[in-house]
Structure 1
Amino acid sequence: MAVLVLGLVLFLGVHSTRIVAEDWRSRMVGRLGENGWKGLYTGVSLAGFALLVWGYGLARQQPVALWAPPRGMNHLAALLMLPSFVLLVAAYVPRNGIRARLHHPMVLGVKLWALAHLLANGNLADVVLFGAFLAWAVLDFRSLRRRDRARQTVFAAGTTAGTATAVLVGAALYAVFVTWAHARLFGVSPLGF
């Protein structure tokens, strides 16, 4: 569990600098330059991600059950993942209505992903991993919205084509993930087959 926690501290810690240490981040960018900061940020992120994946795998080998999710929670989680994938894709598709309306769809997608996985899993490692991501996403979304208001950020209007692209690509990725990739990568079929 220590490796998982260390990975989460590094990964979510570096992703939280704008939430808790905006002034420090600005000083670091000034000292290292934009590319130097991005290099440090990327290095710490990758190290944290590798540690959290490794730590989660280790923790799954000796599971500590906290509760047994009620029947059907895996199906509810699978259903919630469809909009999560659409939200993640909407963060990257230019001029889509989802981003125009919600402003930060990736963070909302992470919230939904974490919540879905908390509903379907009752082991300690799951609660630590998905609970940490859910807490981070809630704080990050709040911070982003506050920053948007302070800067009076205006988001580009969405188009039908951009919105349709985000929905269709997100749904296609979801279909691949739920029917094949999740079981292949994590050894668990979200639909139970």
Structure 2
Amino acid sequence: MSLLIIGIILFFGVHLLALTPAKATLRNSMGEGPYKGLFAIIAVVGLILIIWGFGSARSTLDESDILYYPPGWARHATMLLVLLAFICLGIYLHKGRLKILLRHPMALAIIFWSIGHLISNGDRPSVIVFGAFLVYALLDIIVETARGTRPSFVPKPKHDIIAPVAGVIMYVAMLFLHPYVIGVPVINM
């Protein structure tokens, strides 16, 4: 569990720092390139530790690590929420009016993904990981809304069709890749 916690501290620590005025100070003192490089290195190391620590912690679960048992409908709710997450991700990756309308499609994707996985996973490592992502995404929306941050680009109307379709394609791909990438089957074939 220690690797998981260290990974969360590194990954979210650097992301939370980016939500504060300290980001501009660091970027100005270090320069844009070195700041982005250091941010990326810390974030990647943190993410690797989260993945490694999560896998290790889940492989040694005992009864005291089960915080709650998911309800029977959890799997279906998770599948719907993750579909919405991938659609939001598709919207984030494209420059349509939907991106302007949603304002925070990446954070919304993380929120749907996190809630879905919290519904279906009641073990301590899962609650820590998905809860951390949920809290960060909510903070991101709060901070960026308070700053008045809005997407700024000339929308491409065809992206409003392409983005949701891309999201559904990514979702279907993940349904089949989940057992190989994550190690847990989503659907029984």
Q: Same fold (TM over 0.5)?
A: yes
Q: CA–CA distance in 1 between the matches of 2:67 and 2:2?
A: 18
Contact residue 75 and residue 190 of structure 1 kept, 8 A: no
| Residue identity in the other structure for 2:161 | A
Compute the displacement of 1:187 (Å).
2.0
Aligned AA (1:174) = Y
Task: Say if 2:166 is the partner of 1:166.
Answer: no
1:134-145 aligned at under 5 Å gives the runs: 134-145=134-145
Matched with 1:60 is 58
Gaps of 5+ in 1: none
Select which of 41, 44, 56 maps to 1:43: 41
Q: Which amino acid aligns with 1:164?
A: I
Deviations 1:98-144 (A, max 9, x none): 21101110011001110000000000000000001101110111111
Alignment of 1:180-191 (within 5 A): 180-191=176-187
CA distance in 2 between partners of 1:154 and 1:106 (Å): 12
Answer whether contact 2:11 2:46 (CA < 8 A) is retained: yes
Per-residue deviation, residues 8-31 of structure 1 (Å, max 9, x unmatched): 111111111133x31x22221111
2:103 matched residue in structure 1:
103
Are 1:176 and 2:176 an aligned pair?
no
Superposition deviation, residue 86 in structure 1: 1.0
Contact 1:103/1:155 (8 A) holds in 2: no
1:30 lines up with 2:37 in the alignment: no
The alignment covers a number of residue pairs equal to 186
Matched residue of 2:31: which SS? Answer: helix
SS of equivalent residue, structure 1 residue 16: helix
Would you say the 8 A contact 2:99–2:151 is kept in 1? no
TM-score (norm 2): 0.92
**Per-residue deviation, 1:68:** 1.0
C-alpha distance in 2, partners of 1:28/1:47? Answer: 20
State the Cα deviation string for residues 40-77 of structure 1 (Å, max 9, x = none).
10010011011000000100111221111011201210
Contact 2:92 2:99 in 1 (8 A): yes
1:54-133 to structure 2, matched below 5 A, reads: 54-63=52-61, 64-94=65-95, 96-133=96-133
What amino acid sits opposite 2:70 in the alignment? Answer: P
Percent identity, aligned pairs only?
A: 30
CA distance in 1, matches of 2:185, 2:76: 10
- Secondary structure of 2:179's partner? helix
Q: Look up the equivalent residue of 2:100 and give its one-letter code.
A: A
Contact 1:2 1:55 survives alignment (8 Å): yes
Partner of 1:13: 13
